[in-house]
Structure 1
């Protein structure tokens, strides 16, 4: 993500940096397929930086896909638990209904297996016949009702079991997606780290200093007031996170990725936001950048793969990329896709 790192101030002139880096950067970038044969070695350091930034950007996109799959898996686990509880309760009810029907059947068996209606017809006492006929009718209706209840309960538990099987299948697919996206993130980050490790220590130190630019700097919020009290609380939380490390897949409090920082900051204000930057883009009302107020969410790139919080004075606070800490950067550090007021 080259566009949200400030220019390096390493103390070396451009020509000196080129001289120091040419061989190592050319080798490293060629290994990643970023430098075509016959490329001008004078541009190799810039190509090396571009390759690192490209890998970080690809890792961040994979991180947001990982976050989305993880959120989906969590939801499915909760849903599956509720369905399984419903199956258990349904089975208990079926067992009770079967016991009740079994009791009625046992009573008939103990009467000798003679049809109750026939027994009443053989009675010599008309009053007894009428009283027992009414009772028999009630028992028959109760038995019929219990049988219907049992059939309904069996249909219901069958539907619940089908739903549970579907949820379990979806959960397994989500788990596979989580693992796949995790491997992608780790692969991209490992490639970027290998490329950084190939640079001479002087340039690597300059890169590290650039990645930490803005740390500890606490610009004042602009004269524009936050859009709401909850936005003001989220701003305070985001400011308190400045300097904490970027950790992919994390949403605080010790480390954050970009959407994790936004989610955590608003959670401290009592506001629940979705986990991914793509979903956070639609978590409120979109406004023009010219009307942005502190606390608004600023989403970057067409795919909304990065997000930060507007702090006023033309700055956002965000979790940039691995190796960097939560920091302030210019709001126009990357192409903006949306400004959202929560």
Structure 2
């Protein structure tokens, strides 16, 4: 389902669309929710360039939400498939064990019926980890027979329990696959909207394109001014768009170096490299390259990694955006992130405050 979208890139854009004007978690500041697509035209039936920009923002925001929903469903289905395979392998082993015990019990019963006793070798091999001693009389054989029965009953009970778990896991996987199919269908609908957005962008006149780029630069400047964090890694960068103000070592440094090396590569839904990424594909692959695998999606990263305060954000940390945790970028210091913005864009740096922040998580701890 990875769909590459080229689209016409507007000149001068330095950050993702769907930008808000402040950080949700900072007291005293607020942000507007992403605009819905299709704003009403202005007087005379002509839409303003601001309305066009709002429509594009809304379409691309919907695309990102759909992308993360699909990725999450896919991850759950993949994990459940592995779990079901493991359960089925365990069930096969225990069924073999039950069959062996059943055969051994039958042999013991036939031998005793004929007035003899079961040779101990098979019993010891099946029931004991150290078959050092052979049974040498009928009393021991009788006890071995009882042990066979006891173990056989316990194995049958374990098999019944495992069969129940396997059936439940298969049912869950079936439901997850239905959910995945639904999410895939939703992505297809979003793809059509993205195509509409690209046609809108392609049809803009040069002066309209320039004005959109100017509006985005203004929002970028506003976002830079709203970053409140000071201290190590938090101050305003003096290196333009992508520099950091602190040196980074260890796993965080490796992850950050990897992410920065991907700048310029395109955003592609569901991609985890090496030639393209989506937002969480970039962060998860970067940290895996640093030797610390993390969850695949931004929502799983938010729920599964250690949360830290915004004021203690350090380079390499992940900043999670929007209330539904559907976007993520890696903090690089200086009030900046590196991220994969949305379809039609490439991996770039942007102000950390350019979208509403849900919180910060720190991998590797």
TM-score, shorter chain, exceeding 0.5:
yes
SS at match of 1:340: strand
Partner residue, 1:294: 315
How large is the RMSD of aligned CA atoms in angstroms?
A: 3.1
Q: Would the aligned equivalents of 2:37 and 2:58 in 1 still touch at CA under 8 Å?
A: no
From 221, 224, 232, give the equivalent of 2:246. Answer: 224
Partner residue, 2:88: 84
CA positional deviation for 1:294: 1.7
* Structure richer in helix, relative to its length: 1
Question: Is residue 163 from structure 1 mapped to residue 165 from structure 2 by the alignment?
Answer: yes
TM-score normalised by length of structure 2: 0.71
Q: Would the aligned equivalents of 2:298 and 2:320 in 1 still touch at CA under 8 Å?
A: yes
Partner residue, 1:138: 140
Q: Would the aligned equivalents of 1:60 and 1:185 in 2 still touch at CA under 8 Å?
A: no
TM-score normalised by length of structure 1: 0.75
Question: Is residue 252 from structure 1 mapped to residue 273 from structure 2 by the alignment?
Answer: yes
Partner residue, 2:155: 153
SS at match of 1:281: helix
Question: Is residue 305 from structure 1 mapped to residue 309 from structure 2 by the alignment?
Answer: no
**Structure 1 pair 84/223, CA: closer, same or farther in 2 (3 Å)?**
same
**Structure 1 pair 287/187, CA: closer, same or farther in 2 (3 Å)?**
same
SS at match of 1:48: helix
Q: How many residues matched?
A: 289
Q: Would the aligned equivalents of 1:234 and 1:268 in 2 still touch at CA under 8 Å?
A: yes
Tell me, in whole angstroms, the C-alpha distance in 1 between the residues paired with 2:330 and 2:202: 35
CA positional deviation for 1:198: 4.7
SS at match of 1:311: strand
Tell me, in whole angstroms, the C-alpha distance in 1 between the residues paired with 2:202 and 2:344: 17
Tell me, in whole angstroms, the C-alpha distance in 1 between the residues paired with 2:242 and 2:41: 49
**Structure 1 pair 279/341, CA: closer, same or farther in 2 (3 Å)?**
same
User: In terms of Rg, which structure is larger?
Assistant: 1
Q: Would the aligned equivalents of 1:59 and 1:189 in 2 still touch at CA under 8 Å?
A: yes
Q: Would the aligned equivalents of 1:48 and 1:195 in 2 still touch at CA under 8 Å?
A: no
**Structure 1 pair 203/318, CA: closer, same or farther in 2 (3 Å)?**
farther
Partner residue, 1:59: 63
Q: How does 1:1-342 map to 2 (within 5 A)?
A: 34-36=38-40, 40-111=44-115, 135-198=137-200, 201-203=203-205, 206=209, 219=241, 221-226=243-248, 228-282=249-303, 283-288=305-310, 290-342=311-363
1:18-45 deviation line (CA, Å, top 9, x unaligned)? xxxxxxxxxxxxxx98244875534344
**Structure 1 pair 203/188, CA: closer, same or farther in 2 (3 Å)?**
farther
1:280-333 deviation line (CA, Å, top 9, x unaligned)? 234124122x44322121111122211101112322110111111111111111
CA positional deviation for 1:200: 5.3
Stretches of structure 1 lacking an aligned partner (at least 5 in a row): 1-5, 11-31, 113-133
Q: Would the aligned equivalents of 1:296 and 1:310 in 2 still touch at CA under 8 Å?
A: yes
Q: Would the aligned equivalents of 1:224 and 1:293 in 2 still touch at CA under 8 Å?
A: no
Tell me, in whole angstroms, the C-alpha distance in 2 between the residues paired with 1:33 and 1:231: 38
SS at match of 2:350: strand
Stretches of structure 2 lacking an aligned partner (at least 5 in a row): 1-8, 14-35, 117-135, 221-238
**Structure 1 pair 38/267, CA: closer, same or farther in 2 (3 Å)?**
closer
- Which of structures 1 and 2 has the larger relative contact order (alpha carbons within 8 angstroms, sep 6+)? 2
